[in-house]
Amino acid sequence: MTARIGVVTFPGSLDDRDTQRAIRLAGAEPVALWHKDKDLKQVDAVVLPGGFSYGDYLRAGAISRFSPVMETVIEQAKSGMPVLGICNGFQVLTEAHLLPGAMLGNNHLHFICRDQKLRVENAGTAWTADYEAGQEIHIPLKNMDGRYVADEHTLDMLEAEGRVAFRYVVRGEASDGCGNPNGSLRDIAGITNAAGNVVGLMPHPEHAVEPLVGSGRTDGLPFFTSILKKLVNA
């Protein structure tokens, strides 16, 4: 039986089709989900893709958090369904309180688009199992509101519980994609919930799944093979 992974489309989503393609390349069946529908069509996992949902009015992800589909996503995520939030999807997950902290405007106040070097900190989540802890990967990054912030207590909790999933690699040359691109506290690029089924990150793994397009790398494909193996072996 083929694993079914839903991809939500909000008004202003840009990367829903790219995400569907990445899921298909990994061997799963992508299922299009519309933001106005509460029905998740019996999918096994959900991806909230990148983009500028509702034009990022109010705050990035703040309006999408109240879309009808999110009522079901929140309920299912709390029951253990794997959920991945990419860029704008990460912003939605923090607004929905499925992940702690918040996303603010980049500290340099500019949109940034580049190939970004990350270090995998947690390879034990539903979406990162095909990586190794400490592995360094290149994933495209494109955002305006990508600065992850939280209070010191929350940051310490994430560190102590191993819930920092990805960190920006700050050593090395900027030309190699190194450095903190947006001022995120403690160089955090992605985090997970305590159960490991909900993961959010700012870079775009769906743009690094084929050697002939995008960044020319396939460092993002393990996100989608990881969840496929998790669902098949469940």
For the annotated catalytic residues, the residue numbers are 87, 204, 206
CA-CA distances (angstroms) from residue 71 to 76, 79, 141, 158, 200?
9, 13, 28, 25, 18
Q: Using alpha carbons, select from 28, 206, 26, 198 the residue that is nearest to residue 127.
A: 198
The residue behind tokens 């989900």 is 33
- The beta strands (E) that lie in 35-152 are given as 45-48, 83-86, 102-104, 112-120, 136-143, 147-149
Host H or E run for residue 30: strand 29-34
CB 191 within 8 Å of CB 158: yes
The residue behind tokens 């580049």 is 114
- Type of residue numbered 193: N
Q: What is the DSSP letter of 113?
A: E
